[in-house]
């Protein structure tokens, strides 16, 4: 379930690096695209060499994933051939779908106050009122996690949830079974108000 978030961060960084924004801070709608990744914001600023700042209602989308946030900052790697770090701040929402190893399709929704991703370590972090939910597209089974912090390690494909003052809350909810159909009147049963002879 964390793979979509890590992929979203990687797409954001790749798209940002390969479509170097113009310097300056003009208040115009900025839209940058590279293949399937798109970054849209009201304001883009920063030197050509980075770091670049996207602000005022940022939307990043591509490959079936959408992330929105208030501000996004991206640093290129020292050799300028890749990306080093990403920081997203304010009202982060990640929406995606995920196919598990057993081919089960899941709809994923993640929320947090801030997010970071470091390319050298392969570590992504969501901070502040983290809410993570995955819903099985076929049967609507839902897995929900509430925490203060989520750490995703891309190198080990592992995830850790933490909470300072409370316990991490994990909830698994399966849909209620559908009721058995009731026999309709005239199907051989006795209708309401009638008696059987």
Is position 197 within any domain?
no
Is position 187 within any domain?
no
Check residue 65 and give its pLDDT: 76
Class of residue 78 by CB neighbours under 10 A (exposed 0-12, middle 13-18, buried 19+): exposed
Sign of the alpha-carbon dihedral angle for 160, 165, 167, 173 = negative
Is position 190 within any domain?
no
Give me the CATH number covering residue 46: 2.60.450.10
Mind listing the pLDDT tens digit for each residue in 104-159?
999 989 999 999 888 888 888 999 999 999 999 999 999 999 999 999 887 887 88
Max Cα–Cα distance, the chain, nearest Å: 92
Check residue 17 and give its pLDDT: 34
SS3 category, 21: coil
Check residue 63 and give its pLDDT: 65
Is position 194 within any domain?
no
Is position 31 within any domain?
yes
Its domain, for residue 153, covers 3-173
The verdict on pTM exceeding 0.85 is no
Check residue 196 and give its pLDDT: 54
Q: Which residues, listed in sequence order, are joined to residue 69 by a DSSP beta bridge?
A: 58
Domain count, the chain: 1
How far apart (Å, rounded) are the C-alpha atoms in residues 101 and 129?
29
- The ranges of the chain with pLDDT < 50 are 1-36
Check residue 166 and give its pLDDT: 83
Check residue 31 and give its pLDDT: 39
- The answer to whether 112 and 88 have CB atoms below 8 angstroms apart is no
Is position 125 within any domain?
yes
């Amino acid at each position: 379930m964390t793979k979509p978030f890590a992929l979203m961060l990687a797409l954001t960084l790749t798209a940002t690096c390969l479509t170097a924004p113009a310097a300056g801070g003009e208040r115009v709608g900025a839209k940058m695209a590279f293949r399937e990744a798109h970054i849209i914001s009201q304001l883009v600023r920063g030197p050509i060499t980075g770091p670049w700042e996207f602000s005022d209602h940022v939307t990043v989308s591509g490959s079936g994933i959408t992330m929105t946030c208030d501000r996004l900052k991206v640093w290129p790697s020292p050799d300028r051939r890749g990306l080093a770090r990403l920081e997203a701040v304010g009202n982060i929402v990640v929406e995606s779908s995920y196919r598990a190893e057993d081919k089960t399709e899941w709809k994923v929704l993640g929320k947090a106050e801030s997010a970071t991703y470091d390319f050298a370590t392969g570590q992504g972090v969501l901070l502040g009122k983290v809410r993570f939910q995955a819903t099985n597209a076929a049967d609507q089974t839902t897995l929900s996690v509430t925490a203060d912090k989520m750490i995703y390690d891309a190198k080990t494909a592992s995830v850790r949830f933490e909470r300072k003052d409370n316990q991490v809350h994990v909830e698994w909810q399966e849909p209620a079974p559908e009721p058995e159909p009731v026999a309709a009147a005239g199907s051989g049963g006795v209708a309401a108000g009638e008696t059987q002879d």
